[in-house]
Amino acid sequence: MKKIIKHLSWFIQAEWKQYTIMFILLVGISIIALAPAKVLGEAIDVIVSSRLTKDRLYFLAGLLLLIPVTRYGMSFVYNYMVTKEAQKLAYQLRQKYLKHLFNMDSKFYEMYEKGDLISRVTSDLDAITQAATSLLEGIIFNVGLILFAILVMGTTISWKLTLISITIMPIGITILNIVRSKKRKYIKIHREIYADMTEKVLESVEGQKTIRAYVQEENDLKRQNEAIHKDIESWRYIVKYENWFTPMFEVIYGIAYILAFSFGTFYIIQQEITLGGLITFVAYIGQLYGPITSISGIFTQINNAHISIDRFEEIMKQSPEVHDESDSLNIIEFNEIQFKNVTFKYPFDKHPVIKNIDINIKKGQTIGIVGPTGAGKSTLIRQLLREFNVSGGSILIDGKSIEAYKIEDIRNLVGYVPQSHILFRRSVDENILIGKPNATSQMLDKAVKLADFEKDLMFLHDGLHTMVGESGVSLSGGQKQRLSIARALIKDPEILILDDSLSAVDAKTEDNIINHLKEFRKGKTNIIVAHRFSAIHDADVILVLESGQITQRGTHHELIRQEGWYKTQFIEQMTMR
């Protein structure tokens, strides 16, 4: 419980007024919950002793009516407040979590799977929110009710009878706790299995087109079924222990009733208590059942919340290796980028993907990068996005390490068109404007023209306003590429990176785009990774990357005169035409 309070103290402190009101309301509700039995007992004693007058009857009936009405009013206000607080907390935690995810670097995303990250912001966050709201209710209301009931039973009826009847209860609670503590260890395992199941469902939904294309529905369903089965199995363990306790506890609780009745009747005969007293007493014993089982359940809830807090905190504690320092420098343009002996290894790999890379990129140059698939071309250019820190050597921008600059500034320098194109479930223009949300319509038109996307618009029923993405119109591979290029070009970035982004367009379109770049990006830098040599034919420098190393460099004319990969591939591409 301490852990929950510590973890949520920022929220409780900010909301202390609401929490105080809710606390008072809960105490009030638990006191009121005990009143009807007391009034009933009083009424019976009055009737039995023939002291019932008309006025007294009205008074008692009025009281019995007033009690539930007051309770209803208080519960209404409490429920309203608690729901509002729960929503507020869930919203704030979700905001914190998502903001944190945006700050994380690529290494973090290699460490955690999407399904796992989602389940932490759904089921774990729900458990935490529940802890902060319903736990308060559970503890204050139930503990309050138990204490008040014992106090009222002891002071107004009989301490002796109270002690006799409730001594059995700690035994019941102990049994409850033993069984439930066994259950706890399965909860954690279940959470992990649940996260795995979420991951599999996500994968199937994302990959449904491929699954159908390869007629793999049955295999996929089998995989899903296995995951679901595992989830059910793990839940069964939990339920098994849960089912254990209920009958056992009922038996023990029954003993409390027997004790109350038999000793109560004895004390009536002894004239130590009245009949009304015994009826009130037995009613209270009945009223204690709910709170006692709830309190035991609260331990489970607290434990669930602890597990969830740990899982939530684990993510919140991660700090990105790639991060800004307080003295990080601003940069809006550059003159020269140098790769000095750069080596890079992915965080969980043993071997470097690119090795001893030396490159000089001058502002305004166009650099072409070619090489076999898997040579490390994407890895090389992505170093300019600062997703990871390099493993060896350094990247200098105007003589200073890339790490000395603000990450956002570095990313703002770059317009990156990745190999796989991400379309958001928005209209075409909104998808392009992601590159520069405050762009004017002229800028938008220009980007569309430069990316040679204009001709596609007439095939889209709503032109630029056509919805694309999962639920909208599907674009062809080439259209997606052109939209992505427009998204990067609208930024008019200092450095444009095309990562094999012309692979799905025809030769004519490729020509158009390359010519537009030559014409409109004078003085700006372009880095083009390509498979077709026509795309990099006029580059100032072409780098050939093989097995992570630069094996050739020069202009097209220089390279076709050298023996090596470039010449061989060039001849092959020429003969294939």
* Residue 237 makes contact with ligand ADP by CB under 6 A: no
Give the nearer residue to ligand ADP in terms of CB position, either 133 or 379.
379
**Shortest spacing between CB 98 and ligand ADP, in angstroms:** 22
Give the nearer residue to ligand ADP in terms of CB position, either 378 or 394.
378
Give the nearer residue to ligand ADP in terms of CB position, either 285 or 380.
380
**Shortest spacing between CB 3 and ligand ADP, in angstroms:** 35
Give the nearer residue to ligand ADP in terms of CB position, either 133 or 481.
481
Tokens read off for 78: 């409490």
Residue 372 to residue 545: CA distance in whole angstroms: 7
What phi and psi, each to the nearest 5 degrees, are found at residue 555? Answer: -85, 170
**Shortest spacing between CB 419 and ligand ADP, in angstroms:** 7
Residue with tokens 């350094």: 394
Q: What angle do CA 572, 575, 577 make, to 5 degrees?
A: 110
Residue 491 to residue 9: CA distance in whole angstroms: 43
* Residue 379 makes contact with ligand ADP by CB under 6 A: yes
Helices and strands counted in the chain (H then E): 20, 10
> 339-378 mask for ligand ADP (x: CB under 6 A)?
-------x--x---x-----------------x-xxxxxx
What phi and psi, each to the nearest 5 degrees, are found at residue 563? Answer: -75, 140
Tokens read off for 180: 């439930």
Provide CB contacts within 8 A for 272, sequence distance 6+.
Answer: 158, 160
Give the nearer residue to ligand ADP in terms of CB position, either 223 or 531.
531
Residue 192 to residue 234: CA distance in whole angstroms: 10
Alpha-carbon dihedral 564, 565, 567, 573, rounded to 10 degrees: 160
Give the nearer residue to ligand ADP in terms of CB position, either 392 or 469.
392
* Residue 68 makes contact with ligand ADP by CB under 6 A: no
Residue 500, CA distances (Å) to 371, 416, 420, 526 in order: 11, 11, 9, 13
Sheet containing strand 549-554, strands side by side: 414-417, 495-499, 525-529, 366-370, 541-546, 549-554
Size of the site for ligand ADP (CB under 6 A): 11
- Amino acid identity at 173: I
> Which of positions 78-107 make contact with ligand ADP (CB under 6 A)?
none
Give the nearer residue to ligand ADP in terms of CB position, either 378 or 555.
378
**Shortest spacing between CB 381 and ligand ADP, in angstroms:** 8
- Amino acid identity at 271: Q
Give the nearer residue to ligand ADP in terms of CB position, either 331 or 354.
354
Asked whether 550 and 540 are in contact (CB, 8 A), the reply is: no
Give the nearer residue to ligand ADP in terms of CB position, either 371 or 472.
371
| Contacts within 8 Å (CB) and 24+ apart, 563-566 | 565/371, 565/372, 566/370, 566/542
Give the nearer residue to ligand ADP in terms of CB position, either 379 or 525.
379
**Shortest spacing between CB 1 and ligand ADP, in angstroms:** 42
Please, what sign has the CA dihedral across residues 523, 527, 532, 536? positive
Measured from the Cβ of residue 229, the count of other Cβ atoms closer than 10 Å reads 11
Q: Give the closest residue to 368 by CA, choosing from 221, 270, 237, 501.
A: 501
Tokens read off for 551: 């094996």
**Shortest spacing between CB 139 and ligand ADP, in angstroms:** 47
Which positions touch ligand ADP (CB under 6 A)?
346, 349, 353, 371, 373-379
